Amino acid sequence: MYKNISIVLVLIIIALVAYYNFYTIEPKIGVIDMERLLNESSRADELQKELEERGKELEQNYEGDTDKPEEVESQIYMEFAQNKQEIESELNDEIQTVLDEINQNNKYSVILYKNKVYQGGEDITEKVISKLDQKFNEVDQNE
C-alpha cells in the first residue's frame, strides 16, 4: 500500500515539475541605447534642429533689448529651457508610443536603458529607431 502511495506521489511531483518547466516563461528583457537613438534617429535630429531654430529666434527677439543684458540673458535662458523641455517631452512621448507598439508583439517583461545594464537583454535600439523614423516620415508625407 505504501508503495502505491509513493508511486502516485512521485508521479504527481514529476507532473508538477514538468508543468512548471513547460509553462514558465523566461522574462524577456529589452535594452535601448538612448545615446545611439539620439545620434542615429532622423526624428531626434529633426527635433534637435527645431530646438536650435527656436534658440535663434529667441536671440533675435531680444537682440535690440540692451538696457538690462543680465535680465535679457536670463529671459532667453528660461524660454530656451522651456522649449527644450517641451521638445524632450515630445520625443519621450513618441519613443514611449513606439516602445508600446514594439512590446505588443514581443511581450518584454521590462525595457531598460543600455547604460544601466552590464550584460544581457535584447538590444531593441534599432527597432525603436526604425519605427520612430518610419512614423515621422509618414507624418511628413501626410502634411
Tell me: the pLDDT tens digits for 43-80?
999 999 999 998 888 888 777 666 777 777 888 888 88
Give residue-wise pLDDT tens across range 8-34: 777 788 877 777 666 666 778 889 999
Concatenated DSSP letters of 20-55: HHHHPPPPPEEEE-HHHHHHH-HHHHHHHHHHHHHH
- What is the reported pLDDT for 138? 66
Q: Give CA angle at 21 (18, 27), nearest 5°.
A: 165
CATH of the domain at 6: 3.30.910.20
Non-local (6+) Cβ contacts of 28 within 8 A are 106, 107, 108, 109, 122
- What is the reported pLDDT for 62? 74
Give residue-wise pLDDT tens across range 92-110: 999 999 999 888 877 888 8
Q: Which residues of 30-57 are buried (b: 16+ CB within 10 A; e: fewer)?
A: bbbbeeebeeebebbeebeeebeebeee
What global pTM score does this model have? 0.70
Q: Which domain holds residue 18?
A: 2-142
Task: Kindly tell me if the per-residue pLDDT of 118 is higher than 80.
Answer: no
Domain count, the chain: 1
- What is the reported pLDDT for 89? 93
